Chain A
Amino acid sequence: MNLPIYLDNNSTTPMDPRVLDAMLPYFNTKFGNAASRNHAFGWAAEEGVDYAREQVAKLIGANEKEIIFTSGATESDNLAIKGVFEMYKDKGNHIITCVTEHKAVIDACKHVEKLGGEVTYLGVKSDGLIDLAELEAAMTEKTILVAIMYGNNEIGVIQPIREISAIAHKHGALFMTDAVQAVGKIPVDVNADGIDLMAFTGHKMYGPKGIGALYVRRKNPRVKVTAQMDGGGHERGMRSGTLNVPGIVGLGKAAEICRLEMDEEAKRLSKLRDKLQVELTVLEESYVNGNTDHRLPHVANISFKYVEGEGLMMAMKDLAVSSGSACTSASLEPSYVLKSLGLSDDLAHSSIRFGLGRFTTDEEVDFAIKQTLKAVNHLRDLSPLWEMFKEGIDLDKIEWAEH
Chain B
Amino acid sequence: MAYSEKVIDHYTHPRNVGTLDKSSTKVGTGLVGAPECGDVMRLQIEVDENHMITDAKFKTFGCGSAIASSSLATEWLKGKSIDDAMKIDNMDIVEELALPPVKIHCSVLAEDAIKAAINDYRVKNGLEALESAKSHH
Contact = CB atoms under 8 A, between A and B. Distances in A.
Contact of B62 (A308, A332, A345): A308
Contacts of A381: 17
Interface size on A, as a range, is 20 to 34
Contact of B61 (A306, A315, A344, A402): A306
A334 interface: yes
Contacts of A402: 34, 136
B60 A384 contact: yes
Interface residues of B, number: 33
Given A344-B36, A382-B60, A311 B136 contact: no
A349 interface: yes
A174 interface: no
A344 B34 CA distance: 12
Contacts of A386: 61
Given A310-B64, A382-B59, A385-B61, A400 B38 contact: no
A214 to B, nearest CB: 34
Given A326-B38, A387-B19, A403 B135 contact: yes
B114 interface: no
A318 interface: no
Contact of B63 (A314, A385, A387, A400): A314
A395 B35 contact: yes
Contact of A385 (B19, B40, B133): B40
Nearest to A399: B34
B76 interface: no
A327 interface: yes
B64 A314 contact: yes
A311 B62 contact: yes
B36 A384 contact: no
B32 interface: yes
A327 B64 CA distance: 10
Interface in B88-137: 102, 105, 109, 112, 133, 135-137
B61 A327 contact: no
A307 interface: yes
B60 A334 contact: no
Contacts of A395: 35
Nearest to B32: A401
Interface string B1-44: 00100000001001001010000000000011111111111100
A381 to B, nearest CB: 7
A197 B78 CA distance: 65
A385 B135 contact: no
Contacts of A326: 37-38
Identify the interface centre among A309, A349, A402: most chain B CB within 10 Å of its CB.
Answer: A349
A344 B66 CA distance: 21
A326 B62 CA distance: 11
Contacts of A345: 35-38
B47 interface: no
Contacts of B32: 401, 403
A397 to B, nearest CB: 12
Contacts of A310: 38, 63-64
A265 interface: no
Contacts of B105: 403
A401 B34 contact: yes
A346 interface: yes
B136 A400 contact: no
Given A314-B3, A382-B14, A308 B38 contact: yes
Interface string A286-322: 0000000000000000000011111100110000000
Contact of B33 (A334, A344, A403): A403
Contacts of B19: 387
B59 A308 contact: no
B86 interface: no
B67 interface: yes
A383 interface: yes
5 contacts: A308-B66, A325-B63, A382-B14, A383-B61, A387-B19
Interface of A: 306-311, 314-315, 325-327, 332, 334, 344-346, 349, 381-387, 395, 400-403
The 9 A-B residue pairs whose C-beta atoms are closest, nearest first, are A345-B36, A400-B34, A346-B35, A384-B42, A310-B63, A384-B59, A314-B64, A349-B38, A327-B63
